[in-house]
């Protein structure tokens, strides 16, 4: 394919998809052990059940309660959240296409300001976001053929009823459709008197009376939780006392740090999330809070959004607060690689970071369980003659870029190389020393190098080393610009041109799988980190 020579206009949306979802969101956060901490901090997006996938992501949120304690109580909350999730992806005929305003009250306007984490899903984002989402969904078999004019939430509730006895008596047309709105938000909140955090769900409703009846029929009644209403939302909580408190509390949208973080994030798309890392670390997870990693990020906040354009899907995020970085690394020069580059990764500041963290690395190696690290360091010194950490810091340099070229991509010797922004004299001496050690061990030491303009290049062939040393015009490629936004200012970046990498994997695909793979054009990641926080953008670009 030739991605840079033809326009890429998104396909017009056609009605018809109701993807199945298999993710759940829980309303209570139990205490977790440290080795379960990662899973305990995630709420997952819906995923396709078909083999073809557009993608998935993980965002901050609470874990599901243990099965034996939550089985009876999860049906009502699962149905409410999942109904909105399916609409985010599926849309659903005239029902979704007619809703293009994107305005109105958001869940953060009705959930309490003391939330430590928050996730929002929106069936009614801006018109551009909605139309772009539908256009992308139209490209893939997993979403193309099953779009229908009916409300997609009905299909989901029906599917849930097959797996949950609590929902067997729920009639969608009578008990759900008359009241369920377009937006849902989940907040993780501190419990009264300390202890495990609790969750509160805000579901937009069209009719409070119908919502009260429908939610009760889904299992909220009988002492399972509390229900109150605020500005067009049903607030569902662990108890009626908490629900009544939440609807009277100052809203999360008025919390200055939350508002500033979402303002810096920009367009919130169809999904957004926010977390106060320090509050989460302090709220009942003492084992995790005491770890060195969380001590480093104490005070940090994290926000992100899933957004769409006619050409790509984008996951964007920012961090604010925490331990400030010492200065800002210089921008990477990934855009100066040759135009024939099909994949690359570049990052700045690793050399300085290695020197800063070296005492911790040595401490880990000398402690119990550090045998693997200790063995790797010993081999680096004895087999390759490296002086640590100085030689490694020289190789990592002020910036390091790895590149793969299209030429000879499927041949016996692909063209690969590394471009170092470093002390070229030290790098040259180091490479010569490593070559000498390898030759003395009767190993091949065919390492090609080149120097120029503050760069030191190591490559698989001399021809490719010279090409990398001379720079290039990758940054002028339309595909690269779409996949790696603001590459000139990024302090780290990753890029893969899937159109030109297809020769490595398309032959192994058949039929619809092949057609879906051909819709994927490129993947890119770019970001910055420095004293004022960090930001990143991950994009999947489509043909």
pLDDT of residue 71 exceeding 50? no
What's the confidence (pLDDT) of residue 372?
A: 85
Tell me, yes or no, whether 12 lies in a domain.
no
Query: Is residue 504 in some structural domain?
Result: yes
pLDDT at 158: 64
The model's pLDDT over 161-191, given as tens digits with 9 standing for 90+, comes to 777 777 778 888 888 889 988 888 999 998 8
pLDDT at 144: 59
**Range list of H helices, 277-423:** 277-282, 286-289, 292-296, 350-366, 371-384, 390-396
Check residue 95 and give its pLDDT: 34
> How does pLDDT run across 410-459, given as a tens digit for each residue?
888 899 999 999 999 999 998 888 887 776 665 556 789 999 878 899 99
The vertex-9 CA angle with 7 and 13, nearest 5°, equals: 165
Contacts 24+ apart (CB under 8 A), 167-176: 167/75, 167/79, 167/218, 167/219, 169/217, 170/79, 170/214, 170/217, 170/218, 175/213, 175/214, 175/217, 175/218, 176/79, 176/83, 176/214
Q: Percent of the chain beyond pLDDT 90?
A: 37
How far is residue 503's CA from residue 505's CA, in Å, rounded to a whole number?
Answer: 6
Task: Tell me: do 253 and 342 sit in the same domain.
Answer: no
User: Average pLDDT, stretch 73-86?
Assistant: 40
**Rounded mean pLDDT of 77-104?**
42
Domain for residue 486, yes or no?
Answer: yes
297 and 339 inside one domain: no
**Do 423 and 519 have their domain in common?**
yes
Q: What is the DSSP letter of 507?
A: G
Percent of the chain with pLDDT over 70: 70
84 and 230, same domain (yes or no): yes
Is 362 within the bounds of a domain? no
Domain interval for residue 281: 34-318
| C-alpha distances out from residue 285 to 26, 66, 196, 279, 323, Å | 18, 17, 9, 10, 20
Question: Residue 331 — pLDDT band, cuts 50, 70, 90?
Answer: very high
Compute the C-alpha angle 161/215/242, nearest 5°. 130
Q: What is the mean pLDDT of residues 376-398?
A: 85
Question: At 119, which helix (H) or strand (E)?
Answer: strand 117-122
Asked if the structure places residue 291 within a domain, the reply is yes
Number of domains in the chain: 2
User: How far from each other are the two terminal CA atoms of the chain, in whole angstroms?
Assistant: 10
The token duo for 125 is 């984002």
- 324: pLDDT strictly greater than 80: no
Q: Are residues 231 and 192 in the same domain?
A: yes
94, pLDDT greater than 50: no
Closest to 18 (Cα-Cα) out of 119, 143, 141, 106: 143
Least confident of 39-43, 239-243, 387-391, 462-466: 39-43
Query: For 143-184, what is the HEC assignment?
Result: HHCCCCCCCHHHHHHHHHHHHCHHHCCCCHHHHHCCCEEEEE
Is 191 exposed, middle or buried, given 0-12, 13-18 or 19+ CB atoms closer than 10 A?
Answer: middle
Identify whether residues 295 and 340 lie together within a single domain.
no
> Is position 3 within any domain?
no
| pLDDT in the model for residue 273 | 95
pLDDT interval class at 387 (50, 70, 90): confident
Is 20 a residue whose pLDDT tops 50? no
The per-residue pLDDT for 487 is: 94
Task: Clarify whether residues 462 and 489 are in a common domain.
Answer: yes
Q: Between these two residues, 21 and 438, which has the higher pLDDT value? A: 438
pLDDT in tens, 232-260: 999 999 999 999 999 999 999 999 999 99
Asked if residue 343 and residue 263 are part of one domain, the reply reads: no
Average pLDDT over residues 361-383: 80
Same domain, 291 and 344: no
Of 207, 267, 194, the residue nearest 234 (C-alpha): 207
Q: Do 298 and 403 share a domain, yes or no?
A: no
The answer on pLDDT for 49 being more than 60 is no
């Amino acid at each position: 394919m030739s991605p840079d020579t033809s326009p890429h206009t998104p396909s017009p949306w056609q009605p018809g998809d109701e993807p199945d979802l298999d993710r759940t969101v829980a309303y209570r956060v139990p205490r977790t052990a440290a080795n379960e901490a990662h899973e305990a901090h995630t709420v997952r997006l819906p995923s396709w059940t078909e083999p073809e996938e557009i993608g998935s992501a993980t965002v901050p949120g609470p874990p599901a309660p243990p099965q034996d304690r939550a089985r009876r109580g999860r049906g009502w909350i699962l149905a409410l959240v999942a109904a909105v999730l399916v609409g985010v992806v599926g849309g659903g005929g005239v029902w979704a296409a007619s809703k293009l305003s994107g305005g109105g009250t958001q869940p953060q306007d009705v959930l309490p300001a003391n939330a430590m984490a928050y996730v929002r899903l929106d069936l009614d984002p801006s018109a551009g976001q909605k139309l772009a989402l539908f256009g992308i969904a139209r490209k893939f078999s997993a979403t193309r053929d099953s779009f229908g004019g009916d409300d997609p939430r009905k299909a989901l509730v029906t599917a849930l009823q097959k797996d949950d006895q609590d929902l067997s008596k729920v009639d969608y047309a009578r008990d759900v459709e008359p009241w369920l709105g377009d937006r849902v938000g989940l907040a993780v909140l501190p419990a009264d008197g300390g202890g495990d955090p609790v969750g509160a769900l805000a579901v937009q409703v069209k009719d409070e009376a119908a919502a009260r009846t429908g939610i009760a029929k889904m299992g909220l009644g009988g002492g399972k939780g509390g229900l109150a209403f605020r500005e067009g939302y049903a607030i569902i909580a662990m108890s009626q006392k908490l629900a009544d408190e939440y609807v009277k509390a100052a809203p999360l949208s008025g919390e200055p740090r939350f508002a500033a973080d979402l303002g810096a994030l920009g367009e919130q798309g169809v999904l957004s999330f926010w977390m106060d890392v320090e509050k989460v670390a302090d709220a009942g997870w003492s084992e995790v809070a005491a770890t060195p990693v969380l001590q480093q990020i104490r005070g940090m906040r994290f926000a992100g959004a899933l957004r769409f354009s006619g050409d790509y899907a984008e996951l964007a995020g920012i961090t604010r607060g925490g331990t400030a970085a010492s200065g800002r690394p210089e921008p990477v020069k990934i855009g100066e690689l040759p135009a024939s580059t099909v994949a690359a990764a570049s990052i700045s500041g690793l050399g300085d970071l290695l020197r800063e963290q070296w005492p911790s690395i040595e401490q880990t190696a000398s402690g119990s369980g550090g045998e693997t690290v200790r063995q790797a360091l010993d081999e680096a010194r004895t087999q390759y003659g490296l002086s640590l950490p100085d030689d490694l810091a020289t190789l990592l340099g002020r910036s390091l870029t790895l590149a793969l070229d299209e030429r000879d991509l499927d041949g016996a010797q692909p063209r690969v190389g590394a471009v170092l922004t470093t002390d070229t004299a030290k790098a040259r001496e180091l490479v010569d020393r490593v070559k000498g050690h390898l030759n003395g061990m009767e190993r091949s030491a065919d390492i090609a190098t080149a120097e120029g303009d503050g760069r030191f290049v190591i490559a698989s062939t001399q021809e490719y080393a010279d090409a990398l040393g001379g720079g290039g015009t990758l940054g002028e490629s339309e595909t690269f610009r779409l996949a790696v936004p603001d590459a000139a200012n990024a302090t780290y970046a990753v890029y893969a041109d899937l159109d030109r990498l297809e020769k490595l994997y398309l032959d192994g695909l058949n039929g619809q799988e092949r057609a879906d793979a051909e819709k994927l054009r490129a993947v890119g990641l770019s970001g910055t980190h420095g004293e004022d926080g960090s930001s990143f953008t991950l994009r999947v670009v489509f043909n």
